[in-house]
Chains A and B, each alone.
Chain A
Amino acid sequence: MLSRTADSLFWLSRYLERADNTARIIDAASRLVAMPISYAGESNEWESALAAAGALEAFKQLYKEADRDSVIDFLAFSSLNSSSIKSCLETARNNARAVRTALTSEMWEAINAGWLDIKRYDGTKMDRPKLNEFLTRVKEACLRFDGSAYRTMLRNDVYYFSRLGVYLERADNTARILDVKYHVLLPAEAGIGGGLDYFQWSSILRSVSALTAYRWVYRESLKPWLIADLLILNEQMPRSLASCYANLSSYLDALSAAYGRQGASQRTARSIRTRLQNSRIDDVFQEIGLHEFLTDFIAENGRLGGAINAQYLV
């Protein structure tokens, strides 16, 4: 298949995953700020949301202060932000149009209808109900696309490249969300069942749709190291770094089997996966340091993206 086609598919998935992720970040932040300060703490949640979306630097070049309206506009609607939800969906749809014959008609209809739906929102007068409606539609559009890909695509290289985009982006997103909040997860700062931390912790889980999953897995009250364990090392948890790398490895192996050739991307993915498999959450906290671990992971994940690009997409 053409490298450009693979590249468009890969980025199509990445942009949709990013849109979905940003929608969850906005959702979690707006819940947290709605709480009394004595529960949620005094940190600027809007600034954290920008950082989690990896958009803080770009934001600061345009705005002085991060408040509700400016952050929602920037993260969800702004055409000046190439990673805003609207920009992501538009780019995804353009990519889909460029590789239309590689998609199934169900996938095309999902992305096309999703874009037409989202396009109607211009970001003005975003009160809470309207914002909710918007975020729900974004999440639904991404789900529909993902679902139609899963149900209708042939399992060949076209499918593998679109999956690689999903998991590479997702790993990056989960790591960033954790890194922005790493300080509230540190044992030193974790008060004993203080209300403040509880809401911060549940907000992290909510931003990756894992609050219920946590209870199913640990059957315990929220503990910061267990939250980190769930989102970093637990392969059952579909947004965890470990699960993303189980998938990345398996799709890269499928590609190398189909093409009869291995390269840097297979080796990189395998080594990152092995490290995740061999880690224990205690070591992450006590020996490496959570922040250092995450920073390192984000860089490694970026390197894998570069390797995939060099090996297949150019």
Chain B
Amino acid sequence: MPGAFDEMTLPDGSSRPGYEFLDSWLKATPPDLLALRRAEAELLFRRIGITFAVYGNTDAEERIIPFDIIPRILTKPEWTRLSRGLEQRVRALNAFLTDIYSEGEILKAGIVPPDLIYRNPYYRPEMAGLKLPYNSYIQIAGIDVVRVDADDFYVLEDNARTSSGVSYMLENREVMMRIFPDLFAEHRVAPVENYPEELLATLKSVAPPTAPEDPTVALLTPGPYNSAYYEHSFLADKLGIELVEGRDLLIRDNAVWMRTTEGPKRIDVLYRRLDDDFLDPLTFRPDSALGVPGLMNAYRAGNITLANAVGTGVADDKAVYSYMPDIVRFYFGEEPVLKNVPTWRCREADSLAYVLEHLHELVVKEVAGSGGYGMLIGPAADKKTRAAFAEKIKADPDNFIAQPTLALSTSPTFVDSGIAPRHVDLRPFVLSGADKIRIVPGGLTRVALKEGSLVVNSSQGGGTKDTWVLDQ
């Protein structure tokens, strides 16, 4: 997209704050050396074994996500504003979930239409009236933000269910420190390596009040065939907790226990990376072999904390997303720090008409979609594709929202033709404990490697970058 805001270089060719050294270093470094460093990085990733599985692609069963060796830089003032906005956003999401699963004040006040909640597939009636310790629903959130200019951050998506990618944030930094020690010497880059410690502190803080002083935490994974399994085992290892599957757990006296070689051991907090639908075959999908029969009973009895809570999906639904600015105002009486991308809800007749008429300039998404699947990028699609998509929208308008195609900012990226601008987004990870909110300075920068492409998802040819927050 021509004229997109570049995070390193201003239109007059000078570098933006924070990028001065990197810019001149890149100009002085021969492409051969960069290629060599990139090969080194790839070797490191292969050796560590960071791989991900792409669904429906058996040949490429284990691929590594392409890594771009040029870091993406944020200055301290930029980060301070962003993290303030993230904190506000996640507090609002938690307040919203607490409210809709209890009194429903925001629905009564007519801010959010009740049917959007109660008819939402991610709304869990099982959670209604259940009081969670510390009103804590979303302990781990990955909020996707993008920039379009020097001033504003826009939230693209709130990942309030099981957001992934944090292992890449940590490994990218590890690899960068190994291959570019000299660059780190020239910048004061805030560390991210304490993320596992912060995560563990967060998880322990939300243990049931009846749990022992040092609660037992475990990570629940769907298993080795899940695309994010590498991350699950990586995190369990870093946190020093057991990586459990459903079949490792049993319910006794309404409490959760894991089967160990020394007999059953009680668990207080379950960091679950398994979707609601699969958690408990007695409550949700009866055909799920991944979950634990009776888990919901233990949960409702207050004997286990699930992180994130059950039913948080209703808050990161793309239709609910469009109400976020109002949600922030309703609970806190403050203006949102982070902007929302203007969103047309196809469920509303006027919007639907507008969307169908302007398909060529809009991005259309399924309200519950993720991973870049099931979306239409109007300007990039041909007439036939747009016409077919229009039919899909008309058949089920409630299921779609549309947004203008944002001119995502670009970041210098090392591609085959040399260093060229590519569109990026950013997923910082926000941890909300009973005591406080913790955000490690940085996040996962995803980059669309194809020229002009706006899709950064790893399943669709995106790559990643290390994200540097400068500490001065």
Contact = CB atoms under 8 A, between A and B. Distances in A.
Partners in one complex: yes
Interface of A: 1-4, 6, 94, 97-98, 100-101, 108, 157, 161, 255, 259, 261, 312-314
B224 A101 contact: no
A100 B230 CA distance: 9
A94 B224 contact: yes
Nearest to B236: A101
B224 A4 contact: no
B190 to A, nearest CB: 28
Interface stretch (B119-127, B179-187, B254-262): B254-262
Contacts of A98: 223-224
Contact of B244 (A2, A94, A108, A313): A2
Contact of B261 (A6, A101, A108): A6
Nearest to B62: A97
Given A94-B224, A108-B49, A3 B237 contact: no
B233 A101 contact: yes
A3 B248 contact: yes
A4 B236 contact: no
The 8 A-B residue pairs with the shortest CB-CB distance in the complex, in nearest-first order = A3-B259, A101-B237, A312-B261, A6-B261, A98-B224, A4-B248, A101-B233, A259-B262
Contacts of A101: 233, 236-237, 243
B259 A2 contact: yes
Which applies to chain A's interface (DSSP): helix, strand, loop or mixed?
Answer: helix
Interface residues of B, number: 17
A104 to B, nearest CB: 12
A277 B65 CA distance: 57
B245 interface: yes
Nearest to A108: B49
Contact of A2 (B233, B237, B260): B260
B62 to A, nearest CB: 10
A241 B261 CA distance: 26
Contacts of A97: 224
B242 interface: yes
B247 interface: yes
Interface in B229-247: 233, 236-237, 242-245, 247
Most-contacted residue by chain A among B243, B248, B261 (CB, 10 A): B261
B191 to A, nearest CB: 23
Contacts of A108: 49
B292 to A, nearest CB: 14
A100 B232 CA distance: 11
A2 B258 contact: yes
A7 to B, nearest CB: 9
A260 to B, nearest CB: 9
A259 B261 CA distance: 9
A2 B242 contact: yes
B260 A1 contact: yes
Interface string B451-463: 0000000000000
A35 to B, nearest CB: 44
Contacts of B242: 1-2
A100 B224 CA distance: 10
A39 B38 CA distance: 62
B235 to A, nearest CB: 10
Contacts of A94: 224
B117 to A, nearest CB: 38
Nearest to A259: B262
A3 B261 contact: yes
Nearest to B223: A98
Contact of A4 (B49, B237, B247): B247
Contacts of A312: 261
Interface string B247-275: 11000000000111110000000000000
Contacts of B245: 4
A157 B223 CA distance: 23
Contacts of B236: 101
